[in-house]
Chain A
Amino acid sequence: GIQVEQSPPDLILQEGANSTLRCNFSDSVNNLQWFHQNPWGQLINLFYIPSGTKQNGRLSATTVATERYSLLYISSSQTTDSGVYFCAVNYDKIIFGKGTRLHILP
């Protein structure tokens, strides 16, 4: 079946730094979502981005479907950005990557 790989698995940054999270997938997909799971376990939708680029405040995402990857950019990180970031692709069903755990230090 399709493989979804996220990198890096863990990331520790100082507040104010920028970061790039990557999601690779092994086959063509219908769409892709990025989620942020906060330290309390809540999964929040960030982007629904089958292709192209979207921006929402300090966050932006780019999906290059032909090359089978998506990137999530976080600029000027804040401590509230801490948590796990998941990408999920819609193949014949929704498949999640294992996540990138981001820890922003004050």
Chain B
Amino acid sequence: DVKVTQSSRYLVKRTGEKVFLECVQDMDHENMFWYRQDPGLGLRLIYFSYDVKMKEKGDIPEGYSVSREKKERFSLILESASTNQTSMYLCASSPPGAIQYFGAGTRLSVL
């Protein structure tokens, strides 16, 4: 079974903190994705990566950055967390053009 592991299920941070959300997949997938999910807005793509050290902006990259130093790991970074970044964050991985597999999600609250 494909496994996509997100490091935390729940996270509480303060405004201005630097936040790291980690995602690891065990299927040697080329593509990895970060989404956020908000009520009434569905899932929106923040960033994706199709190879090590490669990254592409999604629909809402502002306020976020990413890092992919190893194929299995894709990190989402909030340089200076703000209250409007309180959300559910979902990581996914896939082979090119194929089905995406999701992690369990991280519910982030920024106070």
**A interface residues with partner B (beta carbon < 8 Å):** 30-31, 33, 35, 40-45, 48, 86, 88, 90, 93-94, 96-99
Q: Kindly report which residue of chain B lies nearest to residue A99, judged by CB atoms.
A: B42
Chain A proximity of B32: nearest CB distance (Å): 12
Residues of A contacting B: mostly:
strand
Docked-complex contact A45 and B101, CB < 8 angstroms: yes
A42 to B92, CA, bound (A): 12
Docked-complex contact B105 and A45, CB < 8 angstroms: no
Interface size in chain B (residues, C-beta < 8 A): 22
Nearest 6 Cβ contacts at the A-B interface: A98-B42, A43-B102, A96-B43, A41-B105, A48-B99, A96-B42
- Which residues of B have CB within 8 Å of A93? 45, 48, 58
**Cβ < 8 Å to A, chain B residues 31-90:** 33, 35, 40-45, 48, 58, 88, 90
